[in-house]
């Protein structure tokens, strides 16, 4: 089986799920066995609100799904070189 390269998710980046949802990376975590997990939330939530927080094993997060498309792909802010902002400002 051929190994494919992937971009490691990083805090503050926006990633789009293959079904369309946009998410913001909060960070990476490890379980007691040392397995890596991606910790993320719905795009646009402030962490001072009750934002849903999700975890996904890194291998699953970057795996290919339908038609060899990645489950999640790195997303830049539309029309710019900037990455999507981490969270909106709390008011």
The answer to whether 75 and 14 have CB atoms below 8 angstroms apart is: yes
The answer to whether 40 and 24 have CB atoms below 8 angstroms apart is: yes
For 5-37, write each residue's pLDDT tens digit. Answer: 778 898 888 889 988 888 888 899 999 999 999
- The radius of gyration of the chain's CA atoms, rounded to the nearest angstrom, is 14
Instruction: Give the whole-angstrom CA distance, residue 18 versus residue 86.
Output: 20
Copy the structure tokens of residue 52.
Answer: 């849903």
Residue 51's pLDDT band (cuts 50, 70, 90): confident
- Domains of the chain are 14-75 (2.30.30.320)
Convert 55-67 to b/e letters by CB count within 10 Å (16 or more is b). Answer: ebebeebbeeeee
The model's pTM: 0.72
């Amino acid at each position: 089986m051929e190994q494919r390269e992937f971009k490691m998710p990083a805090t503050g980046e926006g990633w789009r799920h293959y079904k369309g949802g946009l998410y913001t990376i909060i960070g990476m975590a490890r379980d007691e066995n040392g397995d890596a997990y991606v910790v993320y939330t719905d795009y646009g939530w402030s962490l001072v609100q009750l934002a849903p927080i999700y975890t996904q094993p890194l291998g699953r997060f970057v795996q290919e799904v339908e038609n060899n498309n990645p489950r999640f792909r790195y997303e830049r802010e539309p029309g710019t070189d900037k990455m999507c902002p981490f969270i909106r400002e709390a008011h």
